[in-house]
Chain A
Amino acid sequence: MNATKTKTLPDGVTEDPPWIRRLLIATALLFLVLFLFVPLAAIFKEAFSNGLAEYWWALSDPDALAAIRLTLLATVIAVPLNLIFGIAASWAIANFEFRGKSVLVSLIDLPLAVSPVIAGMVFVLLFGTNGLLGAWLEAHHLKIIFATPGIVLATAFVTFPFVARELIPVMQARGSEEEEAALVLGASGWQMFWRVTLPNIRWGLLYGTILCCARAMGEFGAVSVVSGHIRGLTNTMTLHVEILYNEYNFAAAFAVASLLTLLALVTLAAKSLLARRSGRAGQDSEELA
């Protein structure tokens, strides 16, 4: 209904003169070029400054490979954890009334509000040698800080709002009538989830997962605190870039950075593709409502 209404309107909704419009567009474009395109180009230029062989060598260096492996490992563990948490939390928030619901909603946003470095510090204070659980962990020969588990924990912490925040509005908007219909028709909880709930939230879920992946791979602050920067062992890609850069090994640093950038670009493309498809799906469901 709204769509047909806007179609009949003239191009500009406001009556501002053309020069204002052009000025606004130019300002926006200028910022985009300065802050996005120029740095992006610079990364790839620097990465290839010493030639293709050097680039390949920087990426196939054992330490670099270890960093890539660790980053992927942290992502592969953190993202499914967030998927489970995100679905559970958004389902609870959308479908049930319970005490402390608003507290839960605020808590989900906490990792976005707290500086990642502080998040890392919290884990060190908890699991570090002098931390609350440090003595117990040491007695049982468990290592969390300056080891892979710490990196996974830190990554999971900073990324956990992403899936839940995507799903909560989707689930709240659609209510639980379809689930109730499925239940009355004899579906089990499991069938209800796989056949009714999941297909309805799939775009939001994918979108949240993509954002979550991007954040998990790009995380620096929290991981930096808990990692200890042990080359080939506890260095993630972002930390590896930092070390190379500090050693004035610019070409190698930018080579690894270019890999991260590529990941970001792929994420962005996937995201906009999804937004377009889910936008269409969203329209269908709006019509239905």
Chain B
Amino acid sequence: MSIQIDRLTKRFGSFTALNEVSLTIPTGQLAAVLGPSGSGKTTLLRIIAGLEMPDEGQLFLHGVDATPLSARDRQVGFVFQHYALFRHMTVFENVAFGLRVQPRRSRPSEEEIRGRVKELLRLVELEDYASRMPSQLSGGQRQRVALARALAVRPKVLLLDEPFGALDARVRRDLRAWLRRLHEELKITSVFVTHDQEEALEVADQVVVMNAGRVEQVGTPEEVYHKPATPFVYQFLGSVNRLRLRVRGGYAHLGTLALPLPNGLAREEGTAIALTRPHLLDVSREANGEGHFRARVRHVNAAGPLVKLDLVAEWGDPVHVELPRERYHELALAPEMVVCVRPKEPGALLLQPPDEEHNAPAEMYYI
């Protein structure tokens, strides 16, 4: 196990950035730490790097207790969100820095340094830019220099803080695929922090979802997306509809739909909120006997493989539905039409826990 985190806690004044976080990242994996801003993900990364010290807990790198080690001695590579290139040095000198500052005993010779830097610049596809200054490079190029610089010292662990955060959408997509390929080639245990769920799901072997200083779920992209462990993960990954339900006599009512509540779920009578994904809802023109609720079509976005419907439920809440193109053409929908909406299958709705702030992991009730 490359990175082992044991009950780390970090406070900044009265704010708890990390609350007893435990986590294990296996050797050779590319893990994404995903969470909204303020969830503690960057703090976690900085603690692994040694740029912050935890208040409590321990950190093991390759089985060695790294908690008391300074950033200097941890042999990690760190790529900063805003690159943090040495602006007064050329690209070559930036990459060579980590080698040049080594103690004389272990420092490679000038020739070795030159060879290693060249090799790294080839790896990040910037061989021709060695004598440029950082200010003469584009954002994506700077990010690649930062990566080469971090790799120069042969780190045991590579850490990337929002590596594509400051780049535009296209460059981002290219770099993302490139990072994935690079990781397959180098097999360095890597952790990157992001708030972009698409990025995390696409690139990582393992996704760590964080919220309010805690780990909500750890799993493969497929697991966290299709089997979310908490309502937060469900809401954070993918788009979500929030539907208001009336709870009465062991049933949740939604229009003419009556969904049985699970046994043992003691829910007070009144209103509740259910979460569901746009592709789990179906739309029809007629009521045809089944339970449904009514909604008015406000806007149709037919660009792309799925047609996105923007509806308003009869009680005023917005509802998003995604339909396959064939289904959309079959229905011949247009704005201002009133349609019937129903879940495609039982269990498509997730009951939101009664209190919004979930200090204990809430149970998941699908209805």
Contact = CB atoms under 8 A, between A and B. Distances in A.
Contacts of A188: 72, 101
Given A182-B97, A183-B71, A186-B101, A177 B80 contact: yes
Contacts of B150: 184-185
Contacts of A200: 87-88
Nearest to A185: B98
B133 interface: yes
Secondary structure of the A side of the interface?
Answer: helix
Contacts of B80: 177, 180-181
Contacts of A181: 78, 80, 84-86, 149
Q: Which 7 A-B pairs have the closest CB atoms?
A: A185-B98, A177-B84, A187-B101, A181-B84, A184-B78, A199-B88, A284-B135
Contact of B87 (A180, A182, A195, A285): A285
Given A285-B135, A287-B135, A185 B84 contact: no
A186 B98 contact: yes
B51 interface: yes
28 contacts: A180-B78, A181-B78, A181-B86, A182-B97, A183-B51, A183-B70, A184-B49, A184-B72, A184-B76, A184-B77, A184-B150, A185-B97, A185-B98, A185-B101, A185-B149, A185-B153, A186-B73, A186-B98, A187-B101, A188-B72, A195-B97, A284-B87, A284-B133, A284-B135, A287-B135, A288-B85, A288-B87, A288-B135
Contacts of A180: 51, 71, 78, 80, 84
A178 B102 contact: no
Q: How many residues of B sit at the interface, in one of the four size bands? A: 20 to 34
Nearest to A184: B78
Interface string B97-138: 110011000000000000000000000000000000111000
B50 interface: yes
Contacts, number: 73
B103 to A, nearest CB: 9
A196 interface: yes
A191 interface: yes
Interface centre among B86, B87, B153 (most CB of A within 10 A): B87
Contacts of A288: 85, 87, 134-135
B86 A196 contact: yes
Given A181-B80, A186-B72, A284-B135, A191 B87 contact: no
A178 B94 CA distance: 11
Interface of B: 49-51, 70-78, 80, 82, 84-88, 97-98, 101-102, 133-135, 149-150, 152-153
A195 B102 CA distance: 13
Nearest to A181: B84
B281 to A, nearest CB: 45
Nearest to A187: B101
Residue of A180, A184, A191 most packed against chain B (CB within 10 A): A184
Contact of A195 (B75, B78, B101, B153): B101
A200 B88 CA distance: 7
B86 A187 contact: no
B167 to A, nearest CB: 15
Interface size of A as a range: 20 to 34
Contacts of B75: 186
A283 B103 CA distance: 35
Contacts of B78: 180-181, 184
B241 to A, nearest CB: 41
Nearest to A176: B84
B72 A183 contact: yes
Nearest to B13: A97
Contact of B82 (A177, A185, A199): A177
A184 B86 contact: no
A187 B98 CA distance: 7
B151 to A, nearest CB: 11
Nearest to A178: B84
Nearest to A196: B86
A148 B153 CA distance: 53
Contact of A186 (B84, B102, B133, B134): B102
A284 B137 CA distance: 12
Nearest to B88: A199
A183 B52 CA distance: 12
Contacts of A289: 82
A202 to B, nearest CB: 9
A275 B82 CA distance: 27
Given A186-B102, A195-B97, 8 more contacts: A178-B84, A180-B71, A181-B78, A181-B86, A182-B101, A184-B71, A186-B98, A288-B85
A182 B97 CA distance: 8
Nearest to A190: B101
B99 to A, nearest CB: 9
Contacts of A287: 135
A185 B73 CA distance: 9
Interface string A149-161: 0000000000000
Contacts of B84: 177-178, 180-181
B226 to A, nearest CB: 36
Interface in A227-284: 284
A181 B83 CA distance: 9
Contacts of B71: 180, 183-184
A284 B87 CA distance: 8
Contacts of B72: 183-184, 186-188
A180 B78 CA distance: 9
Contacts of A195: 86, 97, 101
Interface string A82-108: 000000000000000000000000000
Nearest to A284: B135
Contacts of A182: 86, 97, 101
A224 B293 CA distance: 92
A206 to B, nearest CB: 14
A288 B84 CA distance: 9
